[in-house]
């Protein structure tokens, strides 16, 4: 494996292709679905059959995850007969990587043949109707770092990935959102399944009370430190996207409150809700067909 200093940035088309080719030489699985696991939700990878596992630090050019609760492994396997790849942990802006680097795995997935990306994350609930343990299907996002020009598509555009100005009004596939809602009802999840807007910040500090109030007034229902960047790149590459947030803490909105957000609470809530999220994801994958169609 060549060090990045010998190959360049680590996220060019050529480097993404080299990473994809290396992975394809190590496994016969050709995934059509990619699953990205958030904090405390790496157990989603356990639902894959006949797993082939790679540590991130063994994969050429791949960004390393340094956060507790992120295993840092790429798992290939099948789910109900469908070839999948699962990221157990992701990288974040606050770890010091360029935004193009943390989204590089999504482009590798595209080159592997992935058509649909399913993402999960842990988030703080801004919507006062949300409770800890709720699962929010993301219908849209607000990319706060993007307001300051920190967008993963900044820089020269490589048409082999996608167009210069990709549309984001359909970032989250509406048919997949509808499918998740229907499956959630069938599974008896209606009491904790929500739908809302996710806002991303850079982190790693949790938000101040004033920031939470502002974000809520902007229309956000949940706040986190990931996902939106990956969604932008996935849509740039022409892949369908579905994403959901596990509400692991209620954002503090009152100056009289003694509550404080903490990472341990995030991980614990992830453990408690992981089984239901696994069922929802696995049922969604079963209903997917090749070429972005649904099974009847």
Low-confidence ranges of the chain (pLDDT < 50): 1-7, 291, 295-296
pLDDT for 176: 97
243: Cα within 13 Å, side-chain hemisphere = 32
pLDDT of residue 258: 80
- Tell me the catalytic residues: 39, 70, 92, 94-95, 122, 225-226, 249, 263
Q: Is 245 helix (H, G, I), strand (E, B) or coil?
A: strand
Q: Which two tokens stand for residue 188?
A: 């008896």
pLDDT of residue 66: 77
Strand partners, 54: 74
Can you give the pLDDT at residue 293?
54
Neighbours of 252 (CB within 10 A): 18
Element (H, E) at 13: helix 13-26
Rounded distance between C-alpha atoms, residue 221 and residue 219, angstroms: 7
Domains of the chain are: 28-156+168-284 (3.40.50.1580)
275: helix, coil or strand? helix
Grouping H, G, I as helix, E, B as strand and the rest as coil, residue 111 is helix
- Is residue 49 a contact partner of residue 82, using CB atoms and an 8 Å limit? no
What's phi and psi for 54, nearest 5 deg?
-125, 130
User: How big is the CA angle at 293 (ends 289 and 296), to the nearest 5 degrees?
Assistant: 75
CB of 133 within 8 A of CB of 272? yes
Cβ-proximal residues to 3 (8 Å cutoff; 6+ apart), any chain? none
pLDDT in tens, 176-225: 999 999 999 999 999 999 999 999 999 999 999 999 999 999 999 999 99
What are 85's strand-pairing partners?
Answer: 34, 76
Give the model confidence (pLDDT) of 31-63 as tens digits.
999 999 987 677 878 889 999 999 999 999 999
């Amino acid at each position: 494996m060549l060090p990045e200093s010998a190959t360049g940035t680590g996220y060019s088309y050529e480097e993404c292709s080299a990473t994809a080719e290396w992975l394809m030489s190590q496994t016969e699985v050709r995934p059509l679905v990619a699953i990205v696991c958030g904090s405390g939700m790496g157990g989603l990878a356990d639902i894959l059959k006949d797993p082939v596992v790679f540590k991130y630090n063994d994969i050429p050019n791949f960004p390393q995850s340094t956060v507790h609760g992120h295993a840092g492994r790429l798992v290939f396997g099948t789910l109900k007969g469908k070839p999948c790849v699962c990221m157990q942990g992701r990288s974040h802006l606050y770890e010091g990587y360029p935004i193009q680097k943390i989204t590089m795995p999504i482009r590798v997935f595209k080159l592997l043949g992935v058509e649909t990306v399913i993402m999960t994350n842990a988030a703080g609930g801004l919507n006062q109707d949300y409770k800890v343990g709720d699962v929010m299907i993301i219908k849209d996002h607000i990319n706060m770092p993007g307001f300051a020009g920190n967008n993963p598509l900044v820089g020269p555009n490589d048409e082999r990935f996608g167009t210069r100005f990709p549309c984001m009004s359909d970032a989250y596939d509406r048919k997949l959102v509808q499918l998740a809602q229907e499956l959630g009802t069938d599974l008896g999840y209606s009491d904790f399944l929500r739908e809302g807007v996710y806002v991303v910040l850079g982190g790693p500090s949790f938000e101040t009370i004033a920031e939470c109030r502002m974000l809520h007034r902007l229309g956000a229902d949940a706040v986190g430190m990931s996902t939106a960047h990956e969604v932008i790149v996935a849509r740039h590459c022409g892949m369908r996207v579905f994403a959901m947030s596990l509400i692991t803490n209620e954002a503090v909105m009152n100056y009289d409150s003694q509550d404080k957000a903490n990472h341990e609470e995030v991980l614990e809530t992830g453990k408690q809700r992981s089984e239901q999220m696994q069922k929802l994801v696995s049922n969604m994958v079963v209903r997917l067909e090749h070429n972005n169609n649904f099974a009847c």
